[in-house]
Every structure is written in C-alpha cells, then in structure tokens.
Structure 1
Amino acid sequence: MEIQEEFTTIESIFVRHRNALLVRGQFTSIYTDYYLHLMQHSIRPPAEPDQMLKDMLALLTLHLVARPWAETIAWTANLRAPRINLFVTGSSIEESVTGRVFTEDVREPDRNFFYSQTTTVESNEPRLSTMEVIGKDPVGWISQYYEQSEQRPARAFRLDDENFALIAAQPDCDLEWLEALDEAAVAKLLETEETSVLETRRFRFHCGCTLDRILPILGGWKDRLDDLFGDAETINIQCPRCAGRYEVTRDMLV
C-alpha cells in the first residue's frame, strides 16, 4: 500500500507587545498518515503510549518551527510506568517527522528521563541534553525542557480539534502574561493580541525507510546467517525510527 502523505502547515507568529513567539498547527493530517503507517505495517501500540507519541509528534513539529531551519532533532522519553520508550525525530529541511513506541526490552529507569539530540547541517557533532521529567503528559514536559535546554520560558497547549500551540518567550517577554495563559486564552490569541505571521513551514509524517536502507544494518551477519535466521528462511526487521516491518530472506544478505 502506497501512502500519499499530506502536509500540515505550521504558522510562526510574533505576538506584539508581549514579545512572545506563537507556533501553532492542526495535526489531523499527520495523525492520519501515522495511523495509515501503523495499518500498513500491522503495528498496534497500546492506547496510552499511542496518545503520548502523537502528542510528542505534534510538540516536536512545533519546536522545529521555533528553531532554525537547518536542524534535525530527536527526542526520546524513557518512562518508568508504563515502562516504554517514546521516540520522535524530525527535520525542517526534510519537512517530516516520524516516531515510534518501544515496549519490549526497555530499560526500567528509577525516574522518567527525557533525551534530546540536535544536529545541524554545519556540524556532525550533535548537541545532547538529558533531564528528568515530572509526570506523563508530554505537553507538561515542554516547559521543563525549555527552561533547562533552551534557557528561556515556554509553554505548550493542547487545544480542540487536534490543534496544538507552543508559546516561547523572546527578549523582554511579558512573563506574567505568559504564565497566566490557559487553553481558552491561547485559542483566542489572534483576536485579543496584535500579531504578525513571521513564516509558515509544512510537515508530514514520513520516515523514508526502505528495505535497501535497512539491509546494511545486517551486514555484520553475512558470515553468521544460521545464527541470525536459525531454521527460518525469512526474518522480520523493524525500522528503529518508525517501527516499519520488512521481511528479509537469506538470499538478500549473500
């Protein structure tokens, strides 16, 4: 089944007199393609991790738009209960986000940890950040992440109809106003504040993995095919980024 991904438009808006950046988008298209991807590969994550991953896909997309263009960012949440890893990654250059839930062979931490890796086109050395997060709501993690890693206040909001918004402080931001915002106020922000659109970007749910890209991962097994396949003629390999499943035969590795 060939999935024709649809793009979601993300707006970057400056809130005048408050000196804040509003990034917002409606994520139905990305969620639809995410579920088509799950159906194509016969993947059925548990309901709670599934919703958390969807939230992280939306929040990462907004964060990418709040950041410079030439970055690829990956977030991983290692949670204690439920014991899962949530992984999302995206790039403004590739105009895509993807992700998956890990439920098997997950290390159990004593606390919930959040890992961020940012890579730019100018440098092959990623910028890494690790922090403990409180709670299980990805929306609530954003303030913690921005305070530690971005070193500026920011808040994220889950709105109606699969809309999300991120509001990040700029120099001389009205921090009292930012702290007092709630979902209702954010939903009406364009009516109550003077704003100007800075830019729009577009994103889709897309990994780009193919069998040809997956096979080199198994290159080290060419001389140990019996160890890899056992008595079977085929094995299934999962993409580490999106959990896409690919059938590999012995002949493919010879």
Structure 2
Amino acid sequence: MQQEPVAEYTKVESIFVRHRNCLMLKGQFTPIFTDYYLHLLDLKEEHKENLDTALKDLLAVLTLHLTSRPWAETHAWTVNLRAPRVNFFATGSSVNENIVGKVFTKDVREPDRNLLYAQVIDRDKGGDPQLSTVEVPELDPCRWVEAYYEQSDQRPARCFKMPNEEYVLIAAQPDFDEEWLNELDEEKVAQLLQVEETKVLETRKYKFECGCSIERIMPGLLGYKDKLDELFQNDDQLAVNCPRCGTKYELTRELILDFAKRVEEARKQAEGGKS
C-alpha cells in the first residue's frame, strides 16, 4: 500500500465552544513528531521511551498553548523534575511558525519540588520577559499545562492526548460552564464538534525547527576574541552545541575573528550614519 505523505506543518485550530464559553485548541502532531525524530537521527541521539514520550507531549501542549496566545509572543518552558532527575525544555513562536525542544539528563540539579519555569517575550511590547514558576506533578505534560493554567493564568483548563497523535486543550473563558468542563473525558472530547455549537476562530501552523545557525551562536563567543588560546585549549576546532536543539557546530579561530571583524565594521558604519 502507498503511504500518505506526512504534511510539512502541524495545523492547530482555535475553536470557540458556544454556550460553554471555552476555547478549544486541537491539532494532529505527526508532522512535528516526524521532524523531531529526523532531528534525533541527525544528532545520533536516542532517549529512553518515557522521556521521549514526555518531550513529544510537551512539544504538543506548548504548541496548543501558543495558539491561544497573541501572535507576537514567544514562549519558553523549562521543567525541572526530581525523579527522574531531568530537565525538559521547549520553546516556540507563532510568528516563526516553529516549536523546538530538548531533554537534558546530565548535570541536572535536584530540585526540592517539580517546577515549571515559564518565560514569555512579547516582541510588540518589548521590555523584560515575563517569568512565572509553577509546581507541577510528575512525568505528565498534559497535567503540567493544566497546572500552569490553574496557578499562572488562574483559570482551569483540560488537556487530552487523543488517538493518532492528536492533542486537545480546552481552556476556560469568562462565565464558562464549570460543570461541563470538569466532566469532560476523552470520549466526550472526541464527539465535541458534533454535539456542541462551535466556531473556528483561526488556524495557525507549526513545524519542528530551531532556526539556529553559526551566525546566531557566534555573538556569545565574542567575549573570547582576545582569549582564543584559552577558549580552544590547543585544539584547531571548537565544538559548540545549540542549547535549544543540541545541533553541534564546529568553529575555528578564523571564523570567530572574521565574525568579530564584521561586527566591528557594522558598529562603525552605524555610528557614522548617526553622525
């Protein structure tokens, strides 16, 4: 049998449930998960099954949450767990149509509680990032996002992992039907579009993509341009990993010096233009 090609993007619908005053976010995440596994192949990495599943769930629920928020916001979540002692990281943007994440298992500090650290940057408003910290249950991202809504947004939400890699997040709006929301289960969610009056508000699309490059990593190394012997430790190349996705870049002294020269030239041109 000929297999259906996997779509390039995961499309997430934002749907208002009339008379219940709830917002339903739903998407089918095979495209994102496919690109995630291709990325792991490139890195020659493999996670334990429970960690792999949790990271995919986190990518899905954060993508749903992104779709409920203004377009200009970028969200980054880090979850630090006691057992297993591991960090999960995921970040995404509706403007860039991307979501990316990584599992950290080495040199992870042991917290006294399971904590989710959420950061929001609004590029339209500028200013410092908004930060919040939420205590979460153990290894279940669907419960993590529910805890985030309850403690940070101070409104309830329900998250469901459906068959065929579909996920659904239903968030309360003002004057929501509390009893209806609390009684939802997977079966009722599967029938929701048939039994409730709904309206699609918008559709956004996302893919698993970091957007990292040598050009984006290099600025963090400019402070070493006069201390390259200390940085390279007699090696010809320096391996630098992207902290967001783990992609490895091989840098040379010449690359760093050339980048520093171009930054300095750009700075002088900018100063000349002002004068």
Runs of 4+ that moved beyond 6 A: none
1:97 shift after superposition: 0.8
1:194 to 182, 192, 197: 197
Q: Which amino acid aligns with 1:25?
A: G
Distance in 1, matches of 2:214 and 2:242, equals 9
1:123 deviates by 2.0
2:32 aligned partner: 30
Q: Kindly indicate whether the alpha-carbon contact (under 8 Å) linking 2:78 and 2:117 is maintained by their aligned counterparts in 1.
A: yes
Aligned mates of 1:79, 1:36 — CA distance in 2? 26
| 2:120 match: secondary structure | strand
Q: Deviations over 1:155-210 (max 9, x none)?
A: 11000000000000111111111011111111111112111111111111111101
Shift of 1:5: 8.6
More deviation, 10-19/216-225: 216-225
Question: Corresponding residue for 2:75?
Answer: 73
Residue-by-residue CA offset, 1:15-72 (whole Å, 9 max, x unaligned) = 1111111100000000111111121232323332221111111001100111111111
Find the counterpart in structure 2 of residue 105 from structure 1: 107
So what's the TM-score if we normalise by structure 1? 0.94
| SS across alignment from 2:101 | strand
Maintained 8 Å contact 1:97/1:205: yes
Give the aligned partner of residue 219 of structure 2: 216
Percent identity among equivalent residues?
56
- Bigger shift: 118-127 or 17-26? 118-127
CA distance in 1, matches of 2:10, 2:121: 23
Q: What is the rounded CA distance, in whole Å, between the counterparts of 1:76 and 1:219 in structure 2?
A: 27
Q: Secondary structure of 1:123's partner? A: coil
Supply the distance in 2 between the matched residues of 1:220 and 1:101 (Cα, whole angstroms): 28
Is the contact made by 2:10 and 2:27 (CA closer than 8 Å) also made in structure 1?
A: yes
Gaps of 5+ in 1: none
Establish whether residue 118 from structure 1 lines up as the match of residue 140 from structure 2.
no
8 Å CA contact 1:5, 1:33 repeated in 2: no
Question: Which of 81, 84, 93 is 1:82 aligned to?
Answer: 84
Partner in structure 2 of residue 64 of structure 1: 66
Deviation for aligned residue 1:230 = 2.1
How far has the Cα of 1:7 moved from its partner? 1.1
| Aligned partners of 2:81 and 2:138 also within 8 Å | no
> Whose radius of gyration is greater, 1 or 2?
2
TM-score, normalization by structure 2? 0.87
Q: Give the one of 221, 225, 228 matched to 2:231.
A: 228
Match of 2:266 in 1: none
Find 1:147's aligned residue among 147, 150, 166.
150
Q: 1:180 aligned to 2:180?
A: no
The one-letter code matched in structure 2 to 1:166 is L
Q: Which has the higher helix share?
A: 2
For residue 249 of structure 2, the aligned residue among 222, 239, 246 is: 246
Question: In the alignment, what sits opposite 2:273?
Answer: none
Alignment of 1:128 with 2:147, yes or no, is no
Q: How many residues of Structure 1 are paired with residues of Structure 2 in the alignment?
A: 251
C-alpha distance in 1 between matches for 2:214 and 2:41: 18
CA distance in 2, matches of 1:143, 1:101: 21
**Alpha-carbon distance between aligned partners in 1 of 2:103 and 2:221, rounded to the nearest angstrom:** 22
> Are the aligned partners of 2:18 and 2:197 in contact in 1 as well (CA < 8 Å)?
yes
RMSD: 1.6
CA distance in 2: counterparts of 1:251 and 1:41, whole angstroms? 25
Encode CA deviations 1:98-134: one digit per residue, 9 max, x unaligned: 1111122211111111010111121221111002112
Which position in structure 2 is the counterpart of 1:14? 16
Are 1:5 and 1:204, in contact at CA under 8 Å, matched by a contact in 2? no
Tell me the distance in 2 between the aligned counterparts of 1:102 and 1:252.
28
2:240 alignment partner, SS class = strand
Answer whether contact 1:5 1:205 (CA < 8 A) is retained.
Answer: no
**Larger CA deviation: 192-201 vs 153-162:** 192-201
